[in-house]
Structure 1
Amino acid sequence: MKAENIEDIYKLTPVQEGMLFHSLYERESSLYFFHVPIGLRGNLNIEAFEAAWQKVVDRHAIWRTAFYWEDIDNPLQVVYKKVEISLNQYDWRGIERADQEERLKSFYESDRKLYFDFSQPCLMRLALIRLTDDYYEFVWSFHHIITDGWSSAIILDECLQIYEALCEGKEVRFTSNRPFRDYIDWLQEQNIAKTENFWRQTLAGIKAPTPLTYIENKQLPFQEERYDQEKFKLSEASTKALLSFTAQNRLTLATLVNGIWSILLSRYTCRNNIVYGCTVTGRPVDLAEVDSMVGVFINTLPMNVKLNTEQQLLSWLQDLQTQLVEVRHHEYTSLTQIQGWSEVPRDLPMFETFVVVENVPDSQSIRSWKGNVEIVADKGEYFRTNYPLNLVIYPESEMIVAISYDCRRFDLATITGIITEFKILLQYIMTNPFVKIKDLSFLTPKQQQISTALEKEAALFDWELAAIS
């Protein structure tokens, strides 16, 4: 580390500290590793494409950051003034399509196993694989400790704008983003004693994670770690109806999704008090220009939800929304800190399932990229966690609902059943918002057959299974 190339040094956020600890402790784990594969078709200007990524790295400090932890009391992140990146190129033209698919699969597997050296920036890799004369598979790999989904969308949007400008011989002028350092400084100003008191009260009496044993399959063949995912989607008309329902009742989509998941977990565990994880953006509303900041803000927090079976459903959802707002005031707290303030032992997880409602900036550049290349597909990837059962919502024009699961604990039939119940329950809530929670009990999984009438009602609601592999 040469002093003349150092731009800044500051602390890690609590969330970054947790990621660093787990990544160093479990070096074989790929929990915080992300692939973003994107298909590109057309006459790609490779030199301009690589230069665009270099300019993005030059522009944002977090992409020039390394981490140091040895021989110091608290880990630090060190921002370099200049970091050179490279685009690894592969030419697989002339290879049969089936063999290309096998090579791609092997590439992803091997790339995921490559360890990031946290003491060396930049913690990302770029690969461009040419499959035909006019089609490329671009693979963007990075560690979660430097970015989240929101920030990644900003980065990709800027990169595409810069690429277009370079191809046209023009210059793009961006307004300066507020640096991630300002968020670090903001964290130091927070009242940690007040936050500790909030979480102690919120989790009082919780001594163990809510068990999922009721729906687990104990006879599964998988012994090694393996995760899979099932998706379904709503039609555009159904998505509009759903958003209209939430707007009319002054609910957020996140509130409705959290409510449905809480009800399902209550059924599966036969409990009216359940705890699960809820992923939040982590961008504090009282920090100016935070929406344009690039770094890692996203966080997962415990939700302790109580279902009053005598309460009207809509009223309960409104109370849940208030609870979610209260949690947001303390969303910067790391899960490690929270567990330390709870009664849950350190050797147990706080929860075994969580909910994600994706919320990233709308990318005009991605949707209307001009020039000589077309984005065929932003393929994304499975939402990987170390929790056995997770619900992920992608609020697009045709909303996608995904359930990722640990194949060592759940089989496909179980997950398909959960999806069916989710769809039926969502439809029922939208048409019966004033029903009491106890009156939803007829949908319990203890009944092996779900009401035929409700199945038909759900079908009329125009559900569509997503053709996503």
Structure 2
Amino acid sequence: MDYRRLDGWSFPLYLERFLTRYADAAGNTPAPSFDYADYLAWRAKRLRDGSVCAWWRERVQGFDRLPAGPLRGRTSDAFEVAQIRFGPKDVRRFGAACRRARTTQAAALQALWGATLQHVDGRDAPQFGVTTSGRSPEVRGIEHAMGMFMNTLPVRWQASLEDPLQLWLDRASSAVLDLIEHDMIGMPELEELAGTDEHTTLFDTYVVYQNTPSVSTDETAPSGFSLVDESPIAVAQQEHRLRVDIYPNADGYLDVLLSGYEPEYRLHAYLTTLRDLFVNASDAEGTVRMAELLAAPEARDAPRVVTLRDCLQALAHDTPIPHRAEETR
């Protein structure tokens, strides 16, 4: 799929329409209507009144200017990938904790990624990019539209590892909600407002929560097709130091992929920290300090980090990828 023309949300829409049209050779199934001009008019109106730019102009004053890594010229040999898979039992516990804290799973994972960066990189506050769908409910029919709407923009909030878990969750939720309300600005315009240059950036890592629409293809669907795997996982080389892809699966698992230009041992350190926070936060009270969650002992049945090397060895020996033993649901 060409990501210059279609975003991740568009892929299941495209697949569903292709299969439906394939099954309906006469072409009697109409595609949902969407006028792209409506989206452009809405976006232009939001930017024209100046409130979006004014909000960002004030917000970026509190952002650090991070060093932009020398990614140009790097070869694929410097690009690493690691993965961790949480089983249904862990995911259910984490989901219950999110409901108790009155936050979403996506916002909670972003809070934990911010704490991971503080712990591993020694930063004084969470600051990273978040990818949004860019599909405002104010635009009629945009949920059915195919095209490039997504955007990746920076978030930052004040929190230290000595602050309680609930504060982290609340501030991450607020930061993401604010971002969605102002996500129609482009990064070139934002960089101009922030005064960054080729040596500085507003974020060097970013999080993509893959909550795209499901494809309604089964034996009873109009297309008559059923999908073997609805959650394809893929990585591609990128412009930033690290990218976190989070895939909630229909079968109850949660896959977290970390990719980028860091050595394998560094990716392992990020993912083990994120894993321990995920597991420990699931049973913690909101008053527990983030530092206490980081200091808690590793759970015996915690999932292991799988590297690209592990995957290649498994393929070479025709053995399963070495996640931990499957859980009983």
Common topology (TM > 0.5): yes
Counterparts in 2 of 1:366 and 1:372: CA distance versus 1, 3 Å: closer
Q: Which amino acid aligns with 1:180?
A: Y
Gaps of 5+ in 2: 312-319, 323-329
Counterparts in 2 of 1:367 and 1:247: CA distance versus 1, 3 Å: farther
Q: Which amino acid aligns with 1:331?
A: D
Structure 1 ranges of 4+ moved more than 6 A: 366-374
For the pair 1:353 / 2:205, whether they are aligned, the reply is: yes
Find the partner of 2:116 among 242, 245, 264: 264
Conserved in 1, the CA contact under 8 Å of 2:130 and 2:153?
yes
Which residue matches 1:35?
none
SS of residue matched to 1:365: coil
SS of residue matched to 1:251: coil
Which residue matches 2:317?
none
Looking at structure 2, the residues matched to 228 and 310 of structure 1 have their Cα atoms a distance apart, in angstroms, of: 32
| 1:349 CA drift (Å) | 2.7
Which residue matches 1:460?
301
Counterparts in 2 of 1:182 and 1:391: CA distance versus 1, 3 Å: same
For the pair 1:174 / 2:30, whether they are aligned, the reply is: yes
Gaps of 5+ in 1: 1-140, 213-221, 444-450
SS of residue matched to 1:340: helix
User: Once the two structures are superposed, what CA deviation does each residue of 1:150-186 show, in whole Å capped at 9, x if it has no partner?
Assistant: 11210111111111223xxx54423532122221111
Which residue matches 1:203?
60
Looking at structure 1, the residues matched to 188 and 91 of structure 2 have their Cα atoms a distance apart, in angstroms, of: 36
Which residue matches 1:431?
283
Which residue matches 1:389?
242
Find the partner of 1:244 among 93, 96, 114: 96
Looking at structure 1, the residues matched to 37 and 217 of structure 2 have their Cα atoms a distance apart, in angstroms, of: 27
| 1:240 CA drift (Å) | 2.2
| 1:223 CA drift (Å) | 5.5
Which residue matches 1:161?
20
Looking at structure 1, the residues matched to 225 and 160 of structure 2 have their Cα atoms a distance apart, in angstroms, of: 55
Conserved in 2, the CA contact under 8 Å of 1:310 and 1:436?
no
Tell which structure's C-alpha radius of gyration is larger: 1
Which residue matches 1:119?
none
TM-score by length of 1: 0.58
The aligned runs of 1:274-313 (5 Å cut-off) are: 274-313=126-165
Find the partner of 2:75 among 216, 224, 248: 224
The aligned runs of 1:16-27 (5 Å cut-off) are: none
| 1:268 CA drift (Å) | 2.3
Q: Which amino acid aligns with 1:197?
A: A
Count, aligned residues: 303
Counterparts in 2 of 1:271 and 1:371: CA distance versus 1, 3 Å: closer
| 1:263 CA drift (Å) | 0.4
| 1:412 CA drift (Å) | 1.4
Which residue matches 1:73?
none
Conserved in 2, the CA contact under 8 Å of 1:262 and 1:305?
no
Which residue matches 1:400?
255
Looking at structure 2, the residues matched to 276 and 206 of structure 1 have their Cα atoms a distance apart, in angstroms, of: 10
SS of residue matched to 2:32: coil
Higher relative contact order, structure no. (Cα contacts within 8 Å, ≥ 6 residues apart): 2
Find the partner of 2:11 among 141, 144, 152: 152
Counterparts in 2 of 1:272 and 1:200: CA distance versus 1, 3 Å: same
Relative to its length, the structure with more strand (as a share) is: 1
| 1:251 CA drift (Å) | 0.8
Which residue matches 1:66?
none
Looking at structure 2, the residues matched to 420 and 200 of structure 1 have their Cα atoms a distance apart, in angstroms, of: 36
Find the partner of 1:234 among 76, 79, 86: 86
| 1:370 CA drift (Å) | 8.5
Looking at structure 1, the residues matched to 76 and 236 of structure 2 have their Cα atoms a distance apart, in angstroms, of: 15
Counterparts in 2 of 1:310 and 1:229: CA distance versus 1, 3 Å: closer
TM-score by length of 2: 0.81
SS of residue matched to 1:145: coil
Find the partner of 1:362 among 214, 218, 227: 214
